[in-house]
Amino acid sequence: MVHARVIPCLLMRNGGLVKTVKYKNARYVGDPINAVRIFNEKEVDELVFLDIGNPGVPAIPNFELLAEIASEAFMPFAYGGNIKSIEHVKRLYSLGVEKIVLNTAAADQPDLVSAAAALAGSSGVIVSIDVRRNWMGKYSVHVAGGTRDLKRDPVEYARAVEQLGAGEILLNAIDRDGTMEGYDLELIGRVCKAVSIPVVAAGGAAHLPDLRNAAGAGASGLAAGSMFVFHGKHRAVLITYPEYEELERLFK
Amino acid sequence: MTSLTENAGYPLAPSKSYQVCTRCIMDTVADQSISFDDDGLCRHCLRYDKLVSARHLRGDLGRDALQALVECIKAAGQGREYDCIIGVSGGVDSTYVAWLVKQHGLRPLAVHFDNGWNSELATKNIERVLCNIKIDLHTHVVDWDEFRDLQLAFLKASTPDGEIPTDHAIGALLWKEATSRGIKYIISGMNFATESISVPEWSYGHSDWRYIKDIHRRFGSVKLKTYPHFSLAYLCYANVVRGVRMVSILNYVDYNKERAKEILCNSLGWKDYGGKHHESIYTRFYQGYVLPRKFGIDKRYGHLSDLINASQISRSQALAEMKRPPYPEDLQQQDLAYVSKKLRLSPQQFEDIMRAPIKSFRSYRNLYEPVQLLRNTVNGLRKYHFYPR
């Protein structure tokens, strides 16, 4: 890989793909299997699937669907959502999921991060850190789809999960999610300086220069949702991904 | 695979004596209700000759009529963001329409129906072309669980109309976007020159919601909540009360497929995907695998015969083309695996569907007579220039 990783981050609910704005107003964008097929042909580096579930409804990972995705995807992919036990983790790895993404579980049962890392190595474990700014402009880590405030500083939290054995951080700026206003570069800069593991930035990307800016702020992976599923001013659903040459030029 | 074919009604030994048209390639195998005149010309060619002058305007005549129509469209769209709606699929016809309306200074809104079977090339074509000629896009993504259920219902119904769920929804979407946005013109890529031949037994139901609903009632299990559909009453409302018109713009120009492809490739970055309607994986599979193998229907007979009548290929070219499989054998097998998986059918279940006795829309509730009446009315109005071509 010559350039920073550019990763479509796809949200799932009830087996369909959706896209949110600021973690709300999930809009249906299609069937995950066909999306994977299209991304295959676009030679995407890797994919992230996050099952955002239905608020308040307890659930487990949709193993059947993930097995289908695994059988269709040419590229490595990460999965997060409803992972609650080491049994879940084991089953996901055995299905062919390359990396698991822990969010709520990482906060509620930190041992699970260590246990998963012991199982598959740190490189197989991503901790997703969802960050919201409060009215005073102060960053705070949230879990449970942005509904529970941990009241912890993202820098301190990032160091903690690195200690636990996370091999990668998926850093989401909740306030930028789906807005296509550009990444939160300040947040990315702070967290990247604090840890030595790779940080994948997410939330706000709209155009290619946004990706470059986030890489400039220290992110080693650039995740985006809206940018790769919406097209134009009507936010028409259309799967796109930059050509290899475009990315090479961008990061030169 | 031959056993499938034999079972499913490819009449290997035709009951009546074999006859092929002297001009096109339609024959007694492709169309069992075909008839010929004394010179050996088939009913499709006779119909073509009879209608072509009324339906397809060529040269200066077309240019003048199109110019007048463009003025009407512009006038009707004054003060609005868009003056017409175009459907886009990523295929040749619709992409050429996009290019053509821009050439004439119209301000189209492109509408795309995403049924979960887009090929990568189709999405790439839509992206490239619309960016290059600056057309805004609206997409309707059908709920996959609903749509899967409906497509499966049609497979189980065993009629050759498995593409109707898509065709009907596209129609519904175009009419609804037009009426809800106050846009008076829908510009379609239908064209007499390259798609005039229709054999009733090949496909029915584009406008028949009653038929679709009945099949779904019998074979479906997921409630259709968001699937776009329309009734004949709605169609009349859109046309008569709201004054929305559907115009087949390609009937006003000398539409040549190969030339059109050249223009699209060279100036818009469009890529050819080979095969008519192959921008959708399901369409490719349905037309290239299910229809020929189960129903003995090969729509290429119609497409190629149209191109012969339009003088865009020779009869020998068409015959040579028919010697090839509908599309590459290895791709057929790939599609078979993918389609079965996506529809959640085991290989055995799919095989059972392929072997099930063939039925027609007449086995189900339908509105065949009213639909024909409506179609004939519009065609009648066209003849006297009360409705655009």
DSSP string across B210-267: HHHHHHHHHH--S--SS-----HHHHHIIIIIS--EEEEGGGGS---HHHHHHHHHHH
Residue B4 lies in a domain: no
Domain A5-251, CATH among 3.40.50.300, 3.40.50.2300, 3.20.20.70, 2.70.98.60: 3.20.20.70
**Chain A interface residues (partner B, CB cutoff 8 A):** 15-16, 28-31, 33-34, 37-38, 40-42, 68, 71, 231-234, 236-240
In the structure encoding, which two tokens stand for residue B294, read together? 């189960």
Say whether A236 and B145 touch across the interface (CB within 8 A): no
Report domain extents, chain A.
5-251
What pTM was computed for the model?
0.92
- B125-180: pLDDT as tens digits: 999 999 999 999 999 999 999 999 999 999 999 999 999 999 999 999 999 999 99
pLDDT at residue number B15: 54
**Separation between Cα atoms, residue B180 and residue B161, nearest integer Å:** 29
Say whether A237 and B145 touch across the interface (CB within 8 A): no
**Separation between Cα atoms, residue A181 and residue B313, nearest integer Å:** 52
Catalytic residue among A130, A175, A177, A184: A130
Residue B169 lies in a domain: yes
Burial A139-160 (b: 16+ CB within 10 A, else e): bbbbbbbbeeebebbbbebbeb
B-chain CB neighbours of A234 within 8 Å are 136-138
Say whether A238 and B144 touch across the interface (CB within 8 A): no
pLDDT at residue number B11: 45
Is the pLDDT at B276 greater than 70? The verdict is no
For A100, A222, A248, B6, B148, the CA distances from A156, given in Å and listed in that order, are 22, 22, 34, 71, 47
pLDDT at residue number A149: 97
**Separation between Cα atoms, residue B255 and residue B93, nearest integer Å:** 9
Cβ-based neighbour number of residue B233 at 10 Å: 9
Say whether B144 and A240 touch across the interface (CB within 8 A): no
A-chain CB neighbours of B118 within 8 Å are 34, 38, 239
In the structure encoding, which two tokens stand for residue B68, read together? 């007048």
Strand partners, B136: B109
Which of A18, A28, A29, A31 has the most B C-beta neighbours within 10 Å, making it the best mutation to test the interface with B?
Answer: A31
Cα diameter, chain B: 63
Name the residue of chain B whose CA is nearest to A33's CA.
B342
Residue B175 lies in a domain: yes
Report helix, strand or coil for A242: coil
Q: Does B139 touch chain A (CB under 8 A)?
A: yes
Indicate the range of B6-15, B312-321, B342-351, B373-382 predicted with least confidence: B6-15
pLDDT at residue number B9: 43
Residue B27 lies in a domain: no
Domain hosting residue B162, numbered range: 56-296+328-371
- Rounded to the nearest angstrom, the minimum Cα separation between A103 and chain B is 28
- B334-387: pLDDT as tens digits: 999 999 999 999 999 999 999 999 999 999 999 999 988 988 888 888 877 778
Is the pLDDT at B12 greater than 50? The verdict is no
pLDDT band at B275 (very low <50, low <70, confident <90, very high): low
Name the residue of chain B whose CA is nearest to A42's CA.
B120
pLDDT at residue number B57: 87
Say whether A239 and B126 touch across the interface (CB within 8 A): no
A111 is catalytic: no
Name the residue of chain B whose CA is nearest to A72's CA.
B338
Q: What is the mean pLDDT of chain B?
A: 92
Q: Does B145 touch chain A (CB under 8 A)?
A: yes
A-chain CB neighbours of B121 within 8 Å are 41
Name the residue of chain A whose CA is nearest to B281's CA.
A34
Low-confidence ranges of chain A (pLDDT < 50): 1
The whole-angstrom distance between residue A126's C-alpha and the CA centroid of its chain comes to 9
In the structure encoding, which two tokens stand for residue B109, read together? 């809104």
pLDDT band at B5 (very low <50, low <70, confident <90, very high): very low
A-chain CB neighbours of B269 within 8 Å are none
CB A146 within 8 A of CB A173: no
Cross-chain CB nearest to A30 (options B124, B144, B342)? B144
Tell me how many domains chain B contains.
1
CATH label of the domain that carries residue B279: 3.40.50.620
Is the pLDDT at B199 greater than 90? The verdict is no
- B202-247: pLDDT as tens digits: 999 999 999 999 999 999 999 999 999 999 999 999 999 999 999 9
pLDDT at residue number A76: 97
Residue B68 host element (H or E): helix B59-76
Name the residue of chain B whose CA is nearest to A32's CA.
B116
The conformation of residue A144, written as its DSSP 8-state character, comes to T
pLDDT band at B2 (very low <50, low <70, confident <90, very high): very low
Return the closest-CA partner of residue A230 out of A69, A35, A86: A35
